[in-house]
Amino acid sequence: MDIVENIRLGIDCADGDAIQEARRISGKSSGISARIYKKSIDARHKNNIKFVYSVIFGEEKKENAIKIEYGKKPQKDRPTVIGFGPAGMFCALALAQNGYEPIIFEMGCEMGLRVEKVEKLFLEGILDEKTNVCFGEGGAGTFSDGKLTTRINDGYCRFILKKFVEFGAPEEIMYQAKPHIGTDKIRGMTKKIRGEITKNGGTIYFNSELTDIQKYADYVKFTVNKTETFKTSGMFLAAGQHSPELYGLFIKRGFTVVPKAYSVGFRIEHKQSYIDELVYGKYAGHKNLPPAEYVISHKKPDTRGVYTFCMCPGGVVVNSSTESGAIVTNGMSDSSRSKENANAAIAVSILPDDYGNDLKNAFEFRKSIEKSAFAIKNKDFLAPAQSLGDYIAGKTGNLQKSPIVPSYTGKVTEYDLNKIFPEFVNKTIKEGIMQFDGILRGYFDENAILTAPETRTSSAARILRDNIELFSVDCGQIYPCGEGAGYAGGIMSSAVDGIRCAVKYMEKWKGR
């Protein structure tokens, strides 16, 4: 296949114009098939915004299967997947479509009941600690916009995008620079992925929590819901990053778990129309431009970093709490991204030295912030909120005066967020915001709304595994994978890691 890159067109042009321009540049006739491979927006110069395309000529290779060399050793027991988030789903899908008939155990509920429980949390402040925005079918990514952007460059990324399209995602995600599906649509796709797994011999059990585990020479014995015991020749630990109890179990059973860096901060909200103006200038509102996004970071040499994370255009701030007496926030957008506000996390790095390089302290550090936020009103998951101008000045009083209405999926209470975070966190974030304003002029808007806390940007721990074979350094039958195990961050990288672990297993064992 031949590719023509860096085709730059004005924003009044259509995708078909890019293909025509690629034919002109390359001299390829209309008889040769062509398709858009990449499309991005260059908005560095607001008065001269361009679409930037890459176009490929020739037939695309069919890549609906994962290429592996299968092992010859017969399985004694079916492989087991713990968790049905992105890593667990795509691990199980790879296993099922290659004849390995995985068994999946998910602590939370199936999608329909999960949505009901999440809505109950949003509307009534009633939390189910096993099924919520973080736990349940589809994992945390199901309630955070369905972003498929990733920094990794892995061949499985395109395979995953194709699978999402196969299960109902729009074709554009195959070439968009920042693909997303939307919370409303990814729920249905998740159920279709489950159906594909079961059609190919997989079995999934919901409301099924891993409560004990024991390792032996050539198999793993484990308990679900403290009552049912199973064994397996291969376990894929893809349980997500929100349950410190699970890490405690693995430490108790002799696995090597180490603390790692993560981040804490809050959600910031501007009007989406305001962000459109900052990014697109006079072209804000143009029919061919999507709601504007931003990614900003700041780090001085030898200092901790501060950055924006998980930006949700036209979205809402959601209650992502996983336990009573503690508040966690996150962001979410539907496929249309049509809500009034834009929100993003502003987070600062927390390093192991900040909490004594101790695993227990790693979780206690962030939990203390979550509990402090809840304790302000001590009921109904009222989230503390403050205007940006007041946060910088260390005062309150202007939340109700702001023209921006908090979108949090519950109620907010005005509070000085400086009192929730340690001083070094506040100092770093404030410095970062001022630097952000120099990068995206106008970002510092004193009326912007802050809702806290955001503490689950990544896992606080890593379950150590072999760098090549990907199984635990303490047990060759267990594959820690995905975000919870400390090896990914986000839907795409977690899904890729789940597939990579499945492939390593299949190279060792023969399918059924």
- Asked if residue 70 belongs to a domain, the reply is no
Same domain, 122 and 247: yes
pLDDT band at 300 (very low <50, low <70, confident <90, very high): confident
pLDDT tens figures, 443-472: 999 999 999 999 999 999 999 999 999 999
**Tell me, what CATH number does 27's domain have?**
3.30.70.2700
- Asked if residue 66 belongs to a domain, the reply is no
Among 438, 454, 470, the domain boundary falls at 454
Q: How far apart are CA 109 and CA 486, in angstroms?
A: 24
Q: What HEC string does 271-305 produce? A: EHHHHHHHHHHHHCCCCCCCCCCCCCEECCCCCCC
Q: Give the range of the structural domain holding residue 270, as residue numbers without chain letter.
A: 262-454
- 495: amino acid identity, one letter: A
pTM of this prediction? Answer: 0.95
- Asked if residue 63 belongs to a domain, the reply is no
Domain count, the chain: 3
Same domain, 294 and 179: no
- Asked if residue 62 belongs to a domain, the reply is no
Same domain, 369 and 492: no
What count of other Cβ atoms lies within 10 Å of the Cβ of residue 260? Answer: 16
pLDDT tens figures, 197-225: 999 999 999 999 999 999 998 999 999 99
Same domain, 150 and 196: yes
pLDDT tens figures, 102-159: 999 999 999 999 999 999 999 999 999 999 999 999 999 888 777 888 877 778 998 9
Same domain, 11 and 114: no
Q: How far apart are CA 430 and CA 445, in angstroms?
A: 13
Same domain, 102 and 155: yes
pLDDT tens figures, 181-198: 999 999 999 999 999 999
> Does residue 61 surpass a pLDDT of 70?
no
Average pLDDT, the chain: 94
- Asked if residue 65 belongs to a domain, the reply is no
Q: How large a percentage of the chain has pLDDT more than 90?
A: 87
Same domain, 500 and 437: no
pLDDT tens figures, 235-263: 999 998 877 788 999 999 999 999 999 99
> Does residue 173 surpass a pLDDT of 80?
yes
Triad 190, 263, 327: Cα angle to 5°:
70
Q: How large a percentage of the chain has pLDDT more than 70?
A: 99
Average of pLDDT values for 13-36? Answer: 93
Same domain, 411 and 482: no
Same domain, 226 and 92: yes
| Contact (Cβ atoms closer than 8 angstroms) between residue 229 and residue 223 | yes
Same domain, 90 and 25: no
Same domain, 10 and 42: yes
- Asked if residue 358 belongs to a domain, the reply is yes
Residue whose tokens read 């968790």 = 83
- Asked if residue 67 belongs to a domain, the reply is no
Among 454, 470, 495, the domain boundary falls at 454
* Distances, alpha carbon 437 to alpha carbons 296, 298, 382, 443, 506, in Å: 10, 11, 30, 5, 50
pLDDT at 63: 56
Q: How far apart are CA 267 and CA 310, in angstroms?
A: 10
Q: How far apart are CA 267 and CA 64, in angstroms?
A: 38
Among 415, 436, 454, the domain boundary falls at 454
Same domain, 233 and 319: no
- Strand ranges of the sheet holding 449-454, from the earlier edge strand across to the other edge: 297-298, 306-312, 341-350, 262-271, 449-454, 383-387, 412-414
Q: How far apart are CA 475 and CA 104, in angstroms?
A: 20
pLDDT band at 62 (very low <50, low <70, confident <90, very high): low
